[in-house]
Structure 1
Amino acid sequence: MLTAQFHVLADSGFSSIALLNGLSALGLTFSVGMKRSRQTVEGQALYEITSQQRRVRLQGLPDLDLWVYWIWLPANQKGERIQRFVITNRQRHPQTVRTFGRRRWKIEALFKTLKSRFALGKFAQKTKQGVCRFLCLSFACFLLCHLEYLNQDESGTEESVPDGGELAERLKWTLVGWVRLVEIELERAAILAVLDEQRRDAT
């Protein structure tokens, strides 16, 4: 039942021999990112392979039939496109592998944003209530940032990965910028009051 419902997606940080053997032993299908330098049993690096859907056997996994694919990520801020390699234990169409990859990257982007932009990695997660509260706030922030990104991208095309920090900063001034303006006005009034009092005392 489990094997029929789950397809494991993982990045290159989870491409160990033990994990791939374990997933295969459980009968699970998977799509796992691979470093471009990972070598086949013949000593060929993945980046040297010229055709997708090629059947390969990796070093350390000589008995496991795998298929290699690659995906080109959208251009970064420098205009450079990045190639990512993926291996699967079931032959698939390249478009299917790309679809799985996009799903994984969206999930990964969410948790990277929660950790780096919303301080999830530094949050004192000592109680279940505290963790749930922070996760709810983080998801709300992520959703608002995503809506702001969609609002900017009227064409509906993704030319680059959105900058979560930049979106959060812009969203902050859009939604609660008036709060800061009120604070500035109050500070200005307080400063003027002090200056007026000093002038009166001087005269």
Structure 2
Amino acid sequence: MSAILPQAQALVSGLQALMPSVYQQDSLQALLGLFLEGQGSPLPEHCKTKSASALSRFLNEYKWPTRQVIRAVRQAVLQQILSQPRVGRRPTLQVILDLTTVEKVGKFKEFKHLIRVYNRKRGLHLVMLYLVVGQWRVPWGFRIYRGKDTPSPAKLGLRLVKSLPKTLTQQFEVLILADTAFGSNAFITRVRKLKHHALVGVPCDRRLEDGRNVAQLHKRGQQLRLLGLKFPVHLSWYYFKRSDGKLEKRYVLSTKALKGSTITWWGRRRWGIEGFFKTIKHRFGLHRFGQQTLLGVYRWLVLSLTAYLLAHWAHLHLEGGGARPDWGEAAQKALELLLPLMALFPLLAEIQRLRPLAKRYGLDINVDWCKM
């Protein structure tokens, strides 16, 4: 893990180099600094080095290459993952798909067609692809679900899977983990055509070719044929504890021949993305965008995800990935290691604010600094 910090520093420098002016480089640093405060409220008005209007123009108006920023981040991710030594059989790449809602209230005229009610939640509905391999946790990409009569979450998920580069998928055995929203025959068939394996949730009333449904099965891991599916699959289940304390039986289908206990184990692994959703929202402010343009919202989401990656890398650099991260601490460490001026400016601003009070008590504090 010793090479992580230099690679993270190189990424931050590379992102700044993509900005067309020094002014925009400073704005990028300021925004990443806000996200890396790790308190879940990276609002532009809280910035100590740039005005809220300057950051708003950076997100919504200025011409800087958003797609090149995404490519640079992905390239850094690939470099890190593929550079790790491997011994033995081909390792598994967990590709977790799920849909999360960035809940919003109010009116958004520029992209009102994207703010919809789905599953009784109003907001922006994101289909997210999240990679897990070894100690690495990587949000690779997202698509916006636009509601009825548009591509379903399962179709959007397939597009995300197809976006994975061959340099990555050829090095790993790809296992797609997803919930029941992605358990359609079409989704499972397409994953198989891509030569990947799928392990997805299925509802209890899913029919078999012999007329039974999966709720009538009593043996974990048995091979069976689902109605409308042209190849056999394997099924197991586990008990999920709901928020009310009750246990709910969840069924899991695997296109790979695995023991029932192994299918159950992998089925539970899908829930790792739920922890990521909580972290990215409540620590890195994914849901706190207030931009009035689609470009501004898109850039906000990209920078929030980038800040999460930087904090994750800082945690791996310091802890080696063995311990569960304290995301507030990891974000602060990333800020200090990768953007040290952004860590110092709030302190200097506070000293400047309290200077008159210090003088009243005979303390004369002189700090030479200027805002960016």
Task: With the length of structure 2 as denominator, give the TM-score of the two structures.
Answer: 0.34
> In the alignment, what sits opposite 2:61?
none
> In the alignment, what sits opposite 2:227?
59
Residue of 295, 300, 303 corresponding to 1:126: 295
- Once the 2 structures are TM-superposed, how far is the Cα of residue 64 of structure 1 from its aligned partner? 1.1
- Once the 2 structures are TM-superposed, how far is the Cα of residue 114 of structure 1 from its aligned partner? 4.1
Please give the secondary structure, in 2, of the residue aligned with 1:58. Answer: coil
Whole-Å separation in 1 of the counterparts to 2:304 and 2:179:
26
Change (3 A) 1:23 1:137: closer
Matches within 5 A, 1:6-155: 6-61=174-229, 63-73=230-240, 75-111=241-277, 114=280, 120=286, 123=289, 124=291, 126-127=295-296, 129-135=299-305, 147=326
- Once the 2 structures are TM-superposed, how far is the Cα of residue 113 of structure 1 from its aligned partner? 6.1
Whole-Å separation in 1 of the counterparts to 2:208 and 2:262:
23
Which structure's CA Rg is the greater one? 1
Give 1:133's aligned amino acid.
L
> In the alignment, what sits opposite 1:190?
none
- Once the 2 structures are TM-superposed, how far is the Cα of residue 117 of structure 1 from its aligned partner? 9.2
- Once the 2 structures are TM-superposed, how far is the Cα of residue 97 of structure 1 from its aligned partner? 1.9
| Greater share of residues in helix | 1
Change (3 A) 1:109 1:34: farther
Whole-Å separation in 1 of the counterparts to 2:247 and 2:283:
24
Bigger mean CA deviation after superposition, 118-127 or 106-115? 118-127
| Greater share of residues in strand | 2
- 1:45-68 Cα offsets, whole Å, 9 max, x none, are 11111111111111111x211011
Whole-Å separation in 1 of the counterparts to 2:183 and 2:198:
11
- Once the 2 structures are TM-superposed, how far is the Cα of residue 136 of structure 1 from its aligned partner? 5.1
Please give the secondary structure, in 2, of the residue aligned with 1:92. Answer: coil
Whole-Å separation in 1 of the counterparts to 2:295 and 2:270:
28
- Once the 2 structures are TM-superposed, how far is the Cα of residue 5 of structure 1 from its aligned partner? 2.4
Whole-Å separation in 1 of the counterparts to 2:256 and 2:302:
37
Instruction: Report the RMSD for the aligned CA atoms in angstroms.
Output: 3.2
Whole-Å separation in 1 of the counterparts to 2:283 and 2:183:
27
Whole-Å separation in 1 of the counterparts to 2:199 and 2:209:
20
CA contact 2:173–2:196 (8 Å) conserved in 1: no
**Percent identity of equivalent pairs:** 26
Give 1:103's aligned amino acid.
R
- Once the 2 structures are TM-superposed, how far is the Cα of residue 103 of structure 1 from its aligned partner? 2.1
Give 2:255's aligned amino acid.
N
- 1:141-164 Cα offsets, whole Å, 9 max, x none, are xx9x9749xxxxxxxxxxxxxxxx
- Once the 2 structures are TM-superposed, how far is the Cα of residue 112 of structure 1 from its aligned partner? 5.8
Whole-Å separation in 2 of the counterparts to 1:106 and 1:116:
16
Please give the secondary structure, in 1, of the residue aligned with 2:187. Answer: helix
> In the alignment, what sits opposite 1:165?
none
Task: With the length of structure 1 as denominator, give the TM-score of the two structures.
Answer: 0.58
Whole-Å separation in 1 of the counterparts to 2:217 and 2:181:
21
Change (3 A) 1:116 1:43: farther
Unaligned runs of 5+ residues in structure 1 are 149-203
Whole-Å separation in 2 of the counterparts to 1:39 and 1:113:
37
CA contact 2:284–2:307 (8 Å) conserved in 1: no
Whole-Å separation in 2 of the counterparts to 1:80 and 1:21:
34
Change (3 A) 1:138 1:90: closer
Whole-Å separation in 1 of the counterparts to 2:197 and 2:228:
19
